[in-house]
Amino acid sequence: MEENYSPPGTGHRQENKPHNIYNGWSSLAVHAGHEKDPRYSHLVPLYASSTYVYDSAEQGMRRFSGQEEGYIYSRWGNPTLREAEKKIEALETFGSDTEVKGILHASGMAAISTLMLSALKAGDKVLTHYSLYGGTHELLHQILPSLKIECIVEDLRNPEKAEEHLKRDSSIRMIYIETPANPTIQCVDIESLAFLAKQYKRVIACDNTFATPYLQQPFRYGVDFVIHSTTKFLNGHGTAIGGILLGRDIEFMKSQATKAHRLLGGNSNAFDAFLLIQGMKTLELRMERHCHNAMETAHFLAVHPAVAKVNYTGLPEHPDHYTAMKQMRHPGAMLSFELKGGFKAGVDFMNRLQMCVRTVSLGTLDTLLSHPASMTHYGVPKEEKEKYGITEGLIRMSVGIENIQDILADLNQALDCL
Indicate whether 131 belongs to the interface with ligand PLP (CB under 6 A). no
Give bridge partners of residue 172 from the DSSP assignment.
Answer: 125
Q: Which of 88, 185, 205, 241 binds ligand PLP (CB under 6 A)?
A: 241
**Nearest distance in Å: CB 335, ligand PLP:** 14
**Nearest distance in Å: CB 298, ligand PLP:** 20
Choices 133-141, 148-156, 315-323, 337-345 (CB under 6 A): range interacting with ligand PLP: 133-141
Q: Which of 5, 71, 94, 133 binds ligand PLP (CB under 6 A)?
A: 133
Q: Work out the number of other CB atoms within 10 angstroms of the CB of residue 38.
A: 13
**Nearest distance in Å: CB 383, ligand PLP:** 24
Indicate whether 209 belongs to the interface with ligand PLP (CB under 6 A). yes
**Nearest distance in Å: CB 95, ligand PLP:** 24
> Hey, which residues between 159 and 198 contact ligand PLP (CB under 6 A)?
178
Residue nearest to ligand PLP (CB): 108
Indicate whether 137 belongs to the interface with ligand PLP (CB under 6 A). no
Choices 192-200, 215-223, 225-233, 263-271 (CB under 6 A): range interacting with ligand PLP: 225-233
Site size toward ligand PLP, by CB under 6 A: 15
Q: Which amino acid is at 90?
A: A
Indicate whether 45 belongs to the interface with ligand PLP (CB under 6 A). no
Closer CB to ligand PLP, 89 or 178, in the complex: 178
Closer CB to ligand PLP, 131 or 297, in the complex: 131
Closer CB to ligand PLP, 70 or 236, in the complex: 236
Indicate whether 116 belongs to the interface with ligand PLP (CB under 6 A). no
Q: Which of 78, 93, 107, 128 binds ligand PLP (CB under 6 A)?
A: 107
Q: At residue 355, what are phi and psi to the nearest 5 degrees?
A: -95, -50
**Nearest distance in Å: CB 13, ligand PLP:** 32
> Hey, which residues between 289 and 318 contact ligand PLP (CB under 6 A)?
none
Q: Which of 8, 77, 213, 243 binds ligand PLP (CB under 6 A)?
A: 243
Indicate whether 207 belongs to the interface with ligand PLP (CB under 6 A). yes
Give the CA distances from residue 139 to residues 72, 205, 232, 241, 373, in Å, rounded to whole numbers and listed in that order.
31, 15, 20, 18, 22
Binding site for ligand PLP (CB under 6 A): 107-109, 133, 135-136, 178, 207, 209-210, 229, 231-232, 241, 243
